[in-house]
Chains A and B, each alone.
Chain A
């Protein structure tokens, strides 16, 4: 099976802009989770979608949002970007939400 794919791989944005990241899970996986990874905070959970419904949400401001489509593909949106949003954003897919398989990530730089 093909692995998890994320687009774009790299992104440079300016403060105040918004950004949308995309994730295509492994075929047959209905759970998609999003994480933010930074050197200072490590891997932090953003949210999880399962069959188009948000099942869990981490402790991030409302500027971070997501959705999942009927084909299990997911998008994550960050509005009003701040310098502190610069990070590696990782998507992980799972059949059930437990054993998760990560995509290569999107490296976001906010200037």
Chain B
């Protein structure tokens, strides 16, 4: 079992729809969770961090954390073509562990 697993992509949604990205992790001691966006040929960019169970909203992005289920998700509302990228889930029990990423395509 991989330490951080993300739903296999690619994920394609129409413009204006909600994109849902999911991630599970194996280390129950993890306390910090992050979502990064990586455009092709670029380095990862931090878009959300979450530390407590529940939802955290930032603009069109909502991160959801459920430590009991070892599950973290990212919702992107009103998806735009500019959201097309690979989204990386990262978990930090001691050092940062990344999932393989989910490639999202938003079609106009």
Contacts and interface: CB of A to CB of B under 8 A. Distances in A.
Contacts, number: 43
Decide if the interface of chain A is mainly helix, strand, loop or mixed.
strand
Nearest to B92: A98
A105 B88 contact: no
Contacts of A58: 95
A83 interface: no
Given A42-B100, A99-B49, A56 B44 contact: no
A90 B46 CA distance: 14
Contact of A90 (B32, B43, B95): B43
Nearest to B34: A99
Contacts of A75: none
Contact of B96 (A42, A45, A105): A45
Interface in B52-84: none
Given A42-B101, A98-B49, A99-B34, A56 B95 contact: yes
Interface of B: 32, 34, 36, 42-46, 49, 88, 92, 94-101
Interface of A: 33, 35, 42-45, 48, 56, 58, 90, 92, 97-105
15 contacts: A42-B98, A43-B44, A43-B88, A45-B96, A45-B98, A48-B95, A90-B43, A92-B96, A98-B49, A98-B92, A99-B34, A100-B46, A100-B96, A102-B36, A104-B43
Given A45-B97, A102-B45, 20 more contacts: A33-B95, A33-B96, A35-B98, A42-B99, A42-B100, A43-B44, A44-B98, A45-B98, A56-B94, A58-B95, A97-B92, A98-B32, A99-B49, A100-B46, A101-B46, A102-B36, A102-B44, A103-B43, A104-B43, A105-B43
